[in-house]
């Protein structure tokens, strides 16, 4: 499955490291569900609507625990003028296909959060 700036060979190598027991803790990758498991029971306001939005419009397939962490901190990051967290959020998502460039995806997420910080809470 496609990821922005990650290649299948790298993803496969990383998975083999996990399953062979050779995984090194300090090499956590944003798109890996084993590195960033999704914690059940944790509720982040607006995340479900964000997920449905990015899934339906940009062919997103799965996310990791990092995606949820990044989404929770996104307002503070955007308000401080830092877009690095938005990029990391996008990098942590597995897509069925890459519909638009990562730059455009980052811009759209930042723009929507900037003009209405509650948009993902309000819109379904």
Is pLDDT of 44 > 60? yes
| 65 vs 42 pLDDT, higher one | 65
Buried b (16+ CB within 10 A) or exposed e, 51-60: bebbbeebeb
Within 21-96, residue ranges assigned H as helices are 47-58, 65-79, 84-91
| 74 vs 109 pLDDT, higher one | 74
Q: Which of 59, 57, 62 is nearest to 97 (CA)?
A: 59
Is pLDDT of 20 > 60? yes
What are the structure tokens assigned to 66, written together? 């990092």
Is pLDDT of 79 > 70? yes
Minimum mean pLDDT among 31-35, 57-61, 96-100, 105-109: which range?
Answer: 105-109
- Percentage with pLDDT > 70 across the chain: 69
Cα–Cα distance measured from residue 104 to residue 107, given in angstroms and rounded to the nearest whole number: 5
């Amino acid at each position: 499955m496609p990821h922005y700036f990650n290649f299948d060979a790298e993803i496969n190598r990383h998975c083999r490291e996990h399953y062979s027991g050779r995984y090194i803790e300090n090499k956590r990758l944003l798109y890996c569900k084993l590195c960033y498991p999704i914690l059940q029971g944790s509720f982040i306001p607006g995340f479900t609507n964000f997920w449905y939005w990015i899934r339906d419009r940009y062919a997103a397939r799965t996310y990791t625990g990092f995606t949820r962490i990044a989404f929770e901190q996104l307002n503070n990051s955007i308000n401080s003028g830092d877009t690095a967290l938005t990029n990391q959020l996008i990098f942590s998502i597995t897509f069925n296909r890459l519909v638009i460039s990562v730059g455009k995806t980052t811009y759209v997420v930042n723009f929507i959060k900037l003009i209405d910080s509650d948009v993902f809470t309000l819109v379904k």
